[in-house]
């Protein structure tokens, strides 16, 4: 399979390391807020074709219902989007940990989703930006769906991109049934710029 | 010297832009006292920057939910991250009238907000900045889209003429009911048919036929749970009667027939078949076929009797 842009093994390792540092910071902040330990796996770095993005997202939900929020970011010509996908079963525990009172309505879940998104997305993007000396601007978050199937998150048709650099981070909280996936997706044009920066770091 | 002059000019421009930009800008200190208030905030709130300066935000806007807002801001202070709120969470932070009061179709301004930490020279965060975006247009469009979506979904489920469920939807309703009903419940399926409907159409015209269908549909809906009634085809209707005895179903039928004859359409008659849900009935088709058999059986003696 050939891509208009590709990443070498070394570059992949470097992306992984950058993400490790950034998501470590994000997890630290989340842990501070929730007063719990956040387990961090190795982030998955890969080039994904347009036709495969659904599969990548579907793996996250694995036929349970999910809620998702996305947020665009841009800086120094690097453009991308973050997707935060929560398993809906996570919210009850999350509400306890964040000391939300009252019944867990859709509205309360939306608050939880937005609060965690601010922390995870914001910190992660800033963390990566700092290491690459890019000042990322974040656009306003958009709700992609609440209590939906992962297949419904991405509407089919009229997508204008061919392939994307995807970095997938699966967050899990220790001793709590809270699971979410953070996907960082960079456009093809951005990958070329990023690769140059990464090569500079590698040298 | 000329360099400094240029930079000062820059700052002047920047200040003008910040004043006039179509985004609300508010700087707050740790005690939620207003430190900066741009002209967007001035214009929409009617509170001038002079009046707002150093005032407690919660005094200026008593409607602002304090706990909620403090919680959002504390994340910005403590974690030094920006945070966002969107109109879906809360339609607005500050109740401002809509920027398009006449054609905007909303009396207030929907708002998205972005709260950012302002670091001082020593790296500590003692101030935060609120950016208020007018999101009314997208909120209204979103609401419209949802309404249209619901309308379309609903239309696909219904018979266009009468508004009752269509055959396919009713069949699905029946199937779900059969699968989920408690064993031993007395539930009936009633099938109604306008006798000689094609003759009625021929003698009165199709428009009158349609009117008759609408009338009967309205009587049916009024007699029971509207969401369990359907027009199957032509002049044929069906009613699912959960946990209703034969006599209860009979009185429901009487109600429909009475309404029909009281409406001055003595020449239209309804024949009926009623089938009790029994253990042999496994599918929606089974039940429909049985009710139809009773319906066809009822038509013959009736026809010959009168």
Q: So what's the pLDDT on residue B303?
A: 44
Q: So what's the pLDDT on residue A88?
A: 84
How confident is the prediction for chain B on average, in pLDDT? 89
Same domain, yes or no: B100 and B166:
no
Which strand (E) or helix (H) includes residue B130?
strand B125-134
Task: Spell out the domain ranges in chain A.
Answer: 22-179
Is the predicted pLDDT of residue B73 greater than 50, yes or no? yes
Termini Cα distance of chain A: 28
Read off the pLDDT band of A61 (50, 70, 90): low
Mean pLDDT (whole number) for A96-117:
82
Is the predicted pLDDT of residue B4 greater than 80, yes or no? no
Instruction: Report phi then psi at B27, rounded to 5.
Output: -110, 130
Residues in A closer than 8 angstroms to B84, CB to CB, are 71, 114, 117-118, 138, 140-141
Mean pLDDT (whole number) for B247-257:
91
Mean pLDDT (whole number) for B52-67:
93
- The answer to whether position B151 is within a domain reads no
Q: Which of B110, B143, B176 is the last residue of a domain?
A: B143
Is the predicted pLDDT of residue B198 greater than 80, yes or no? yes
Which strand (E) or helix (H) includes residue A102?
none
Same domain, yes or no: B295 and B216:
yes
- The answer to whether position B244 is within a domain reads yes
- The answer to whether position B148 is within a domain reads no
- The answer to whether position B65 is within a domain reads yes
Is the predicted pLDDT of residue B60 greater than 50, yes or no? yes
Is the predicted pLDDT of residue B113 greater than 90, yes or no? yes
What are the residues whose beta carbons fall under 8 Å from the beta carbon of B152, sequence distance 6 or more?
none
- Lowest model confidence (mean pLDDT) among A25-34, A101-110, B195-204, B280-289: A25-34
A-B Cβ pairs (cutoff 8 Å, strict): 44
Is the predicted pLDDT of residue B306 greater than 60, yes or no? no
Which strand (E) or helix (H) includes residue A177?
none
Looking at the structure of chain B, the number of domains it has is 2
Q: So what's the pLDDT on residue B274?
A: 93
User: Which tens digits make up the pLDDT trace of B220-245?
Assistant: 999 888 889 999 999 999 999 999 89
Q: Within 13 Å of residue B231, how many CA atoms lie on the same side as its CB? A: 22
Q: So what's the pLDDT on residue B104?
A: 82
CA distance B169 to chain A (A): 22
The CATH code of the domain that includes B263 is 3.30.70.270
- Residue B141: Cβ within 10 Å count: 10
Contact A115 B82 (CB under 8 A): no
CB interface of A with B, residues 104-163, below 8 Å: 107, 110-111, 114-115, 117-119, 122-123, 126, 138, 140-143
- Rounded distance between C-alpha atoms, residue A23 and residue A29, angstroms: 10
Mean pLDDT (whole number) for B20-32:
94
Mean pLDDT (whole number) for B257-280:
88
Mean pLDDT (whole number) for A164-190:
85
Residue B75 touches chain A, beta carbons under 8 Å:
yes
Read off the pLDDT band of A158 (50, 70, 90): low
Q: Which of B120, B143, B166 is the last residue of a domain?
A: B143
Mean pLDDT (whole number) for B16-20:
87
Q: So what's the pLDDT on residue B305?
A: 35
Same domain, yes or no: B169 and B133:
no
Q: Which of B143, B169, B200 is the last residue of a domain?
A: B143
User: Which tens digits make up the pLDDT trace of A118-154?
Assistant: 888 888 898 899 888 999 999 999 888 888 887 777 7
How many angstroms separate the Cα of A186 from the Cα of each of A17, A24, A74, A143, A144?
Answer: 16, 20, 10, 19, 18
The CATH code of the domain that includes B46 is 3.30.450.20
- Residue B19: Cβ within 10 Å count: 13
| Helix (H/G/I), strand (E/B), else coil: A86 | strand
Is the predicted pLDDT of residue B304 greater than 60, yes or no? no
Look at B298 and B60; give whichever has higher pLDDT. Answer: B60
Mean pLDDT (whole number) for B123-145:
93
Mean pLDDT (whole number) for B268-276:
91
Sheet with B236-241: strands ordered across: B229-233, B236-241, B188-194, B270-276
| CATH superfamily to which A22-179 belongs | CheC-like (3.40.1550.10)
User: Which tens digits make up the pLDDT trace of B146-166?
Assistant: 999 888 988 889 998 999 999
Same domain, yes or no: B47 and B176:
no
Residues in B closer than 8 angstroms to A152, CB to CB, are none
Same domain, yes or no: B134 and B10:
yes
- Rounded distance between C-alpha atoms, residue B50 and residue B44, angstroms: 15
Residue A99 touches chain B, beta carbons under 8 Å:
no
Look at B207 and A38; give whichever has higher pLDDT. Answer: B207
Is the predicted pLDDT of residue B6 greater than 70, yes or no? no
- Rounded distance between C-alpha atoms, residue A164 and residue A142, angstroms: 20
Contact B86 A138 (CB under 8 A): no
Domain range holding B293?
Answer: 158-305
- Rounded distance between C-alpha atoms, residue A141 and residue A118, angstroms: 9
Q: So what's the pLDDT on residue B84?
A: 93
User: Which tens digits make up the pLDDT trace of A9-57?
Assistant: 888 898 999 898 888 887 787 777 777 777 777 888 988 887 788 777 7
Q: So what's the pLDDT on residue A157?
A: 56
Residues in B closer than 8 angstroms to A110, CB to CB, are 88-89
Let me know: does B112 contact B89? Beta carbons within 8 Å.
no
Same domain, yes or no: B172 and B235:
yes
Q: So what's the pLDDT on residue A6?
A: 79
| Helix (H/G/I), strand (E/B), else coil: B163 | coil
Residues in B closer than 8 angstroms to A143, CB to CB, are 86, 88
- Rounded distance between C-alpha atoms, residue A114 and residue A91, angstroms: 12
What is chain A's length?
Answer: 203
Of B81, B112, B133, nearest to A118 by CB-CB distance is B81
Residue B113 touches chain A, beta carbons under 8 Å:
no
Mean pLDDT (whole number) for B54-67:
93
Let me know: does B272 contact B253? Beta carbons within 8 Å.
yes
Is the predicted pLDDT of residue B286 greater than 90, yes or no? yes
Is the predicted pLDDT of residue A90 greater than 60, yes or no? yes
Using a pLDDT cut of 90, give the percent of chain A over it: 12
Q: So what's the pLDDT on residue A62?
A: 67
């Amino acid at each position: 399979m050939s891509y208009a842009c590709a990443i070498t093994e070394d570059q992949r390792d470097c992306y992984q390391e950058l993400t490790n540092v950034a998501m470590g910071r994000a997890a630290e902040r989340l842990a501070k807020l929730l007063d719990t330990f956040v387990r961090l796996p190795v982030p998955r770095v890969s080039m994904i074709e347009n036709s495969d993005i659904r599969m990548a997202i579907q793996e996250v939900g694995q036929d349970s219902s999910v809620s998702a929020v996305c947020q665009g970011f841009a800086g120094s010509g690097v453009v991308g989007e973050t997707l935060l996908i929560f398993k809906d079963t996570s919210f009850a525990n999350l509400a306890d940990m964040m000391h939300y009172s009252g019944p867990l309505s859709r509205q309360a879940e939306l608050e939880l989703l937005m609060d965690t998104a601010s922390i995870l997305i914001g910190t992660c993007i800033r963390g990566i930006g700092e290491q690459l000396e890019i000042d990322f601007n974040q656009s306003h978050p958009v709700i992609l769906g609440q209590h939906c199937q992962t297949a419904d998150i991405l509407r089919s048709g009229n997508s204008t991109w061919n392939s994307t650099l995807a970095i997938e981070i699966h967050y899990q909280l220790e001793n709590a049934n809270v699971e979410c996936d953070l996907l960082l997706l960079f456009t093809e044009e951005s990958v070329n710029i990023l690769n140059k920066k990464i090569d500079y770091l590698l040298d | 010297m000329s360099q400094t002059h240029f930079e000062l000019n820059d700052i002047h421009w920047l200040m003008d832009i910040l004043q006039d930009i179509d985004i609300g800008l508010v700087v707050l200190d740790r005690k939620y006292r207003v430190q900066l208030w741009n002209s967007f905030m001035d214009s929409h709130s009617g509170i001038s920057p002079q009046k707002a300066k150093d005032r407690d935000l919660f005094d200026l806007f008593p409607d602002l939910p304090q706990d909620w807002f403090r919680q959002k801001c504390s994340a910005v202070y403590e974690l030094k991250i920006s945070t966002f709120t969107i109109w879906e969470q809360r339609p607005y932070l500050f109740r401002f009238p809509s920027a398009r009061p006449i054609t905007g179709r909303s009396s207030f301004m929907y708002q998205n907000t972005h709260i950012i930490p302002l670091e001082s020279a020593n790296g500590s965060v003692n101030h935060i900045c609120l950016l208020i975006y007018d999101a009314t247009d997208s909120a209204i469009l979103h609401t419209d889209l949802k309404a249209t979506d619901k309308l379309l979904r609903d239309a696909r489920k219904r018979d266009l003429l009468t508004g009752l469920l269509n055959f396919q939807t009713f069949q699905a309703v029946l199937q779900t009911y059969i699968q989920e009903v408690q064993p031993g419940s007395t539930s009936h399926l009633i099938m109604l048919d306008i006798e000689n409907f094609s003759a009625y159409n021929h003698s009165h015209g199709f428009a009158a036929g349609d009117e008759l269908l609408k009338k009967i549909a309205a009587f049916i809906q009024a007699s029971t749970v509207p969401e369990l009634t359907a027009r199957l085809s032509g002049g044929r209707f069906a009613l699912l009667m959960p946990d209703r005895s034969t006599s209860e179903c009979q009185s429901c039928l009487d109600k429909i027939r009475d309404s029909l004859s009281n409406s001055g359409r003595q020449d239209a008659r309804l024949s009926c078949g009623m089938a009790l849900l029994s253990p042999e009935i496994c599918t929606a088709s089974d039940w429909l076929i049985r009710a139809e058999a009773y319906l066809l059986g009822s038509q013959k003696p009736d026809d010959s009797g009168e």
